């Protein structure tokens, strides 16, 4: 996105050499490494939450009110477990030096 913004500022807006151009160059420089690392890590989480949300909505529409509340609580509990595993249980433990 930052690369596209930089190209837009340089070509369509013809503002090369301005503060806006400098900001897009910095954004492109800083954002490029994140594109290669964080997007790969976030992709499975985004897919999981999208699928999870679609399944939850489908069940909520089809189930009676009392059952849908129980199902919502169960889905929330499962989501909390997955979030906990993703962020806390999979951490690399650091040994303290004596």
Q: Where does 1-98 have alpha helices with state H?
A: 2-11, 19-62, 65-84
Percent of residues, the chain, with pLDDT higher than 70: 88
DSSP state of 12: T
Give pLDDT, residue 77.
92
Residue given tokens 């690399």 in the structure block: 92
Q: Are 56 and 34 in contact (CB under 8 A)?
A: no
Tell me the pLDDT tens digit for each residue of 9-45.
Answer: 888 888 888 888 888 888 888 777 777 677 677 777 7
- Structure-token match 């996105």, residue found: 1
Average pLDDT score over the chain: 79
Distances (CA, A) of 67 to 17, 22, 59, 60: 61, 56, 9, 9
């Amino acid at each position: 996105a930052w690369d596209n913004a930089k190209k837009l500022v340089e070509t369509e807006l013809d503002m090369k050499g301005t503060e806006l151009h400098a900001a897009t160059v910095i954004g492109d420089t800083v954002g490029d490494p994140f594109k290669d690392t964080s997007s790969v890590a976030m992709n499975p989480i985004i897919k999981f939450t999208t699928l999870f949300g679609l399944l939850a909505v489908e069940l909520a529409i089809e189930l009676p009110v009392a059952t849908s509340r129980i199902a919502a609580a169960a889905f929330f509990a499962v989501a909390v477990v997955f979030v906990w595993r993703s962020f806390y249980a999979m951490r690399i433990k650091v040994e303290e030096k004596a």
